[in-house]
Structure formats: structure tokens, C-alpha cells
Chain A
Amino acid sequence: MNTPITSMERQFDADRRTFLKVGVAGAALLFAGRWLPPARAGLASAGQALAFANLSPADAVALERIIPVMLHGALPQDEAQRQAAIGEILHGIDVTIGYQPPAVRREIRDLFGLLTKSVTRVVVAGVWKSWDRASNEEIQKFLTGWRNSRFGLLRSAYVGLHDLTVGSWYANPRSWARLGYGGPPKIA
């Protein structure tokens, strides 16, 4: 984190103002994901997402935009390979969620509910356009905002999203060369 403390404090204040707008209804909004209608899903992944056990098509659309920002600089340069990597990351996330206990899966659903319903996406994540139209800058700002949020809940949501995406990519042998990791030793 390069930001000096002072500018981070300003960020906290900005976050607080954003959050206070929803302050009274804040808690309710966090769970709104359970009943609000889903935002318009993008077209790209709808078909692919049908194959997922734990991610909805709308989750997949959001993640398809978040993954390249979260892992900027770590994914393959070649466009076809890059798309394949994103597909594998989505698959890894889906599998990983399936190994979580029901209580954690419910929290992950709440997190994706928050990200994929238009009202909460705008109010809590600060992303105005639907995910498939959101710019990289907008997504960067959203991730930075949650990472530095003065609210533990949003910081823990950032950590959750970070764990899922980063963990899924770096469990994948295709990510290892960049780390100078040659994979597990061969057992004779």
C-alpha cells in the first residue's frame, strides 16, 4: 500500500460519507441481495455460468470484470490465453465455494448479492454501470474503497473477494512461472 496515512484518512472520510448515506438502512441493504431482483446480466458468460454449481450467471459476469482488475499484471498477455485463464479462475472459485460450510456459503451469497443487485452495487460498491459496462478505473476504485474502508464489514468483504480470486489463480499451475515456482518436487 503506497498511500500515506494522511490520504488514507481522507479516503476513510470519503467512505464514511458514502456509507452514511445508507447509514440508517445500511444493515438492511447488506442483506437486500437476498430479495432484490438481479441486475441485467451481461451476455458473455450467461451460457458458461450455467455450468456452475455455486455461482449464478450474474455472479460470473461481475467476477469476469473484477478478476482482470484484481489480477492485473498477473494474467497471460495473449487474449485467448487470458480468457481461458479467467474461465479457469471462475471454475476454481465455484469449486472452492462448494467446500465451504453452509454458514460461509451463505456469507459468500450475501457478498455476491451485494455486488450483483443494482441498488447495492451502486450504493455500497460505488459502481454505477452494470458490471459488463464498468470501466477498469471504476472497478479499481471500488476495490481500493473496500480495502481501505473504515467499516470492518467491507474490509472483510474485500478480503473474501481477494481470497477467492487470487487463491483460485495461484492454485493453478499456469500462474506459477511468474512466481519462479516450478511446482511440487517429483517423488522418486
Chain B
Amino acid sequence: MTKPKNAQVLHGHQLETNQALSADVVIIGTGAGGGVTAEVLSKAGLKVVMLEEGGYYTAKDFRMLEGESFTRFYYDVGARKTKDKGITILQGRMVGGSTTVNWTSCFRTPPETLAHWTKVYGLQGFTEAQMAPWFDMTEKRLTILPWPIRNSSNDVLYRGAKKLGWHVEVIPRNVRGCRNLGYCGMGCPVDAKQSMLVTTVPAALANGAMLVAHTRAESLEINGDRVVAVHAVALKENAADPTGVKIRVEAPYVVLAGGGINTPALLLRSKAPDPHQRLGKRTFLHITNASTAVMPEKVIPFDGAPQSVYSNHFLYRDGVTGKMGYKMEIAPLHPVSTTVNTLAFGQEHADAVARLPHLSAMIALMRDGFHGDSQGGTVTIADDGSPVLDYPMNDYLWEGLRSGYLSMAECQFTAGASRVVVSHLDAPTQGYASWSEAKKGIEALPLKVLRAQIWSAHVMGGCAMGEDPKMSVVDSRGKHHQFANVWIIDGSTFPTSIGANPSLPIYAMAARQATALAETAGKKKSAA
């Protein structure tokens, strides 16, 4: 589905005068949480206004060029950084949020995670059985099905894991009519990816919702225990600088869906009540390291679905709350992502990146937040109000990353790699030549911030759900503990990381929360 005719859409960078809008519900953010919420609430007959910081780009804008994509579709040109710059965060900033530029891998929240939330955080309604109908519904809505085609780069993980007797499984993807192009990260040029951009957001628009893009929510206007309005600023084409035009939206219900960095930052800027100092705490990232195999044959890592197989062999290597576990996946490689992440310079760099057609990059995503030594990061705001995420590293996390380097290198050599390059400043740029050399080398690597290269594409936590207000920001329905009319429906409400790519866990959780909210807000509306 594309943008319906007569859709009410405002673009901040084109607005010339201040706007005063009103609605039954204002939703801040149009990603996995906001998109689903907008469809559910608008379908229930509620008048919805969606605010989105990024631009409204559609298939015709998706020219599969990295330069254009990183600048327009991602926060901080695809390199949002933690406070000490030790972690690079890939986060979408556009209508549809990260769902528009993600790699389409969809996993249900693991039963281990749901059981942990129920047991440790007292969540209600989040058992595997209680969540199953929401997952069923979402998988149907977004055509989430196992993807049977495996490109050569994913085949490296598949072959290596099979030979080693490790778990390896096919990835379900939210696509319909996918052409297997391999450019998911730059926006789908054929509208095959069932992102929020082509599903829930246009459905909400067709239901009469209004979308205000290129507009950043700056603060919440608070009166007693209620938020009475949202104050936003129109943004220039770069979705970074305000134009000077202001937008005020009044609504009896407010849904925050900006994700694990932006949602706590908005609440902090608004000086929202936080009696137990929980706001912006325990932010999780699935911190991720990488290992690149140089294969004797061409693998063409820029061609074909970016991710089609995964291994959970090490996800629970020491139980749910033991040593850091990690999920293993493949990452696509294109010219900019390959060359920017190869940190050598000069001839050494030129020679290393010229091997691109032979490269296959593997990633290990750490399941953070389940052990006492994994408390995640903390979001605060800088003097100018912009979010700052401090994510301190420690021995527990480094041990997980080192183990991840080892598993990836072992898998790649087993699959026939001639060399393996791990994402670390002190590892040889041309790569280790054998598994035994890699093992020795990796065990000796100094694991320090900005020596080990670490990424994240999954921001979670910071406004945790829980029934105990001392430990959480919202209750199990997503309702804010202190505000009577504010809901948070995005990945920020997860009490830990997911342990799998979080898009489907956010969609299904949002469907559940929004359905209950539609009932609450709908009753109020018909009573009025």
C-alpha cells in the first residue's frame, strides 16, 4: 500500500506558518511502535496525529545509493554514537522509522526472554501463550515467512555452522514480492518490504489520520498528572535544524514511540516526573562485533537478501542469566559500509577493500540486560536538549565480544575462508590466515573502547515496563506510571534486550498495547 489519495500530510520543511493541531491521540514516532499504534487507533475511529522527525520518503526516492541513504534515512548519517564514541548505532530516521531501512529479519521474542520478564520484572500478559495471538496476527499482517533463498554470503554461516554441528536456521522476513536485490538498508525500491512505510502508516492515513513529517517533538506541556499538548518544531530538509516554524498538538492521549534513545530524551527535556530515577536507565543495544571472511570464491555480499540464516548456538551458551550469549547473523556489504569500517588507511586500506566481491561479513549480537553485570546504558540530555547515550563497557561484555570473535572466525574458517579479518584496530587488516592463528590472535587482542569496533542496530529499554513503579517507567500495558494519559509504545519499554532482532517483538507488543488503549480511549470518547 502506498500513500492514499487525499492523505493529510504536512512536511515540516515546507511549512511557512506555525500550526495548531488537535486530535484524540497524538503519536510521536512512526516506526515499529508508532506505526502499528497509529493503524490500530485510527481503525478504532480515533482521530490520530502522527509526528515524525525524519522525512516522508517513498519507493521512488530509494535509488539504492549509500550516500543518499545514510544522509537522509538515518540518524547522524548512519553513525549515531554513544557518549565515548565506542559504539556506532544504525538507526532509521524517516517515516516508518528503522522498519523502512532494516534488513527485514523477523523473530518472535524468545520464550526465554518472555519468561524472564514475567519472573523478574512482574510483567503481566507477556507469557509465550498470551503473546502468541499477537505474533500470529502480526506475522499475517506483514507477510512474515521463512525466506528460502540463501545468497553466498549467508551460505558461509550456513556451511560453517552445519559442519560444526551448530544450530542454524532460516530467517523469516516481512516481504511480499521481494526481488532479492540486497538493498534493504537503503529503503526498498519496489515496495516489497512490509515496513510501516507501506503498511500501517498508509492504513492510518486512509483511516483519516494526519502525518506531520520533518518535525521533531521538543517537549510535552504538563498540567498536573496530564500531558495536555506536544510542542514540536519543523525541521529543514536535513531533518536536523529547526526552520523556526512551531507545531503544537493538543490531544487527550499521548503515545510516545520514538524508541530507546529519543523517547527518554523527550521525557527528560519535558522534566517529566521520575520519582524513582528510572527514566533513561537500562538502555540496551545488542552490542555487535563483526568478522569478515575472505573467501576463495566470489560471494558478492551486496547481492541478495542481506540476512537469510542465523545461528542461536551461543545465544544461551551459559543459560539465560549466565555469561553473555549472542546470536550470529550475516551483514550485507556495500562500498561505503565496507570501506568506512575498514579502519586502515592508504595502500593497506585500498588493498583490503579491493577484495569486496570475495568478502562475507558475519556479526555476533550480544544479548545484553540479563545478567547483573549487564546494566546497559543511560540516556541523558546535552545542554542543547539532544540525547546522549552513555554505554559503559566492562569485563563481562568484553568476554562476550571476545567469544563472539572466536565463534565467528571458527565458523568462517570451517566454511572455507582463506583469511578472516575481525573488527578490531589491532587485528591484521589483511586477516588471519588460519583458525589457529586467529584463535591465538583474538585471545591476545586488547579489548578496549575504540580499539574493538562495536555497532548496534537495535536500541531497546530506557523506559522499562513493570508493575513496580520503583523499577519501571510504564506498566505492563505501556501506560506511564505517573501520567494519567501518556502511553509509551516502542522498544524503550523492553526491560532487557530481546536476544533477537527486535522489529517483530515491537510490532506484536504494540498491537497488544494499542488494542487495549483503543478500548480505553474509545470509551472515553463515546462518553464525552
One of A20-28, A31-39, A118-126, A178-186 contacting the partner: A178-186
Q: Is the CB of B386 within 8 A of A1?
A: no
User: B122 an interface residue at 8 Å Cβ cutoff?
Assistant: no
Known: A99-B239, A100-B240, A103-B384. 11 other contacts (CB 8 A): A2-B428, A69-B345, A99-B77, A100-B76, A100-B77, A101-B76, A104-B76, A166-B349, A170-B338, A184-B181, A187-B181
Contacts of B343 in A (CB 8 A): 147, 158-159, 162
10 contacts between A and B (CB under 8 A): A72-B346, A73-B349, A152-B86, A156-B450, A163-B79, A166-B340, A167-B339, A179-B335, A179-B354, A181-B302
Contacts of A99 in B (CB 8 A): 71-72, 77, 238-240
Q: Which of chain B's residues has its CB closest to A2's CB?
A: B428
Q: Give the shortest distance, in Å, between A188 (CB) and chain B (any CB).
A: 9
B residues lining the A interface (CB < 8 Å): 63-67, 70-72, 75-77, 79, 84-86, 179, 181, 183, 189-190, 238-241, 302, 334-336, 338-340, 343-351, 353-354, 356-357, 382, 384, 386, 425-430, 444, 446, 449-451
Bound Cα distance from A181 to B241, whole angstroms: 35
Q: Give the shortest distance, in Å, between A21 (CB) and chain B (any CB).
A: 22
Select one of B340, B382, B444 contacting A5, CB under 8 A.
B444
Bound Cα distance from A105 to B353, whole angstroms: 28
A: number of interface residues (CB 8 Å): 47
Q: Give the shortest distance, in Å, between B179 (CB) and chain A (any CB).
A: 8
Q: Give the shortest distance, in Å, between A139 (CB) and chain B (any CB).
A: 10
Q: Is the CB of A102 within 8 A of B241?
A: yes
Q: Give the shortest distance, in Å, between B60 (CB) and chain A (any CB).
A: 11
User: A140 an interface residue at 8 Å Cβ cutoff?
Assistant: yes
Contact A156/B181 with A1-B428, A171-B336 known, Cβ cut-off 8 Å: no
Q: Is the CB of A159 within 8 A of B85?
A: yes
A residues lining the B interface (CB < 8 Å): 1-2, 5, 8, 69-74, 92, 95-96, 98-104, 140, 143, 147-148, 152, 155-156, 158-159, 162-163, 166-172, 175-176, 178-181, 184-185, 187
Q: Give the shortest distance, in Å, between A179 (CB) and chain B (any CB).
A: 4
Bound Cα distance from A176 to B67, whole angstroms: 13
Q: Give the shortest distance, in Å, between B346 (CB) and chain A (any CB).
A: 4
Contacts of B64 in A (CB 8 A): 184-185
Q: Give the shortest distance, in Å, between A16 (CB) and chain B (any CB).
A: 15
Q: Which label, helix, strand, loop or mixed, suits the secondary structure of the A interface?
A: helix
Q: Give the shortest distance, in Å, between A72 (CB) and chain B (any CB).
A: 4
Q: Is the CB of B386 within 8 A of A73?
A: no
Bound Cα distance from A152 to B86, whole angstroms: 9
Select one of B67, B350, B384, B428 contacting A73, CB under 8 A.
B350
Contacts of A70 in B (CB 8 A): 345-346, 349
Q: Is the CB of B340 within 8 A of A74?
A: no
Contacts of B241 in A (CB 8 A): 102
Q: Which of chain B's residues has its CB closest to A157's CB?
A: B85
Bound Cα distance from A176 to B357, whole angstroms: 11
Contacts of B428 in A (CB 8 A): 1-2
Q: Is the CB of B63 within 8 A of A147?
A: no
Q: Give the shortest distance, in Å, between B42 (CB) and chain A (any CB).
A: 31
Interface core residue of A70, A102, A163, A175 (most chain B CB under 10 Å) = A163
Q: Which of chain B's residues has its CB closest to A155's CB?
A: B450
Q: Give the shortest distance, in Å, between B306 (CB) and chain A (any CB).
A: 14
Contacts of A8 in B (CB 8 A): 426
Q: Which of chain A's residues has its CB closest to B351's CB?
A: A73
Q: Which of chain A's residues has its CB closest to B239's CB?
A: A99
Q: Is the CB of B181 within 8 A of A102?
A: no
Q: Which of chain B's residues has its CB closest to A92's CB?
A: B67
Contacts of A171 in B (CB 8 A): 65-67, 70, 335-336
Q: Give the shortest distance, in Å, between A96 (CB) and chain B (any CB).
A: 6
Bound Cα distance from A100 to B318, whole angstroms: 41
Q: Is the CB of B357 within 8 A of A170?
A: no
Q: Is the CB of B190 within 8 A of A187?
A: yes
Bound Cα distance from A100 to B239, whole angstroms: 9
Contact A143/B345 with A156-B450, A170-B336, A184-B183 known, Cβ cut-off 8 Å: yes
Interface core residue of B66, B190, B340, B382 (most chain A CB under 10 Å) = B340
Bound Cα distance from A185 to B429, whole angstroms: 29
Contacts of B179 in A (CB 8 A): 187
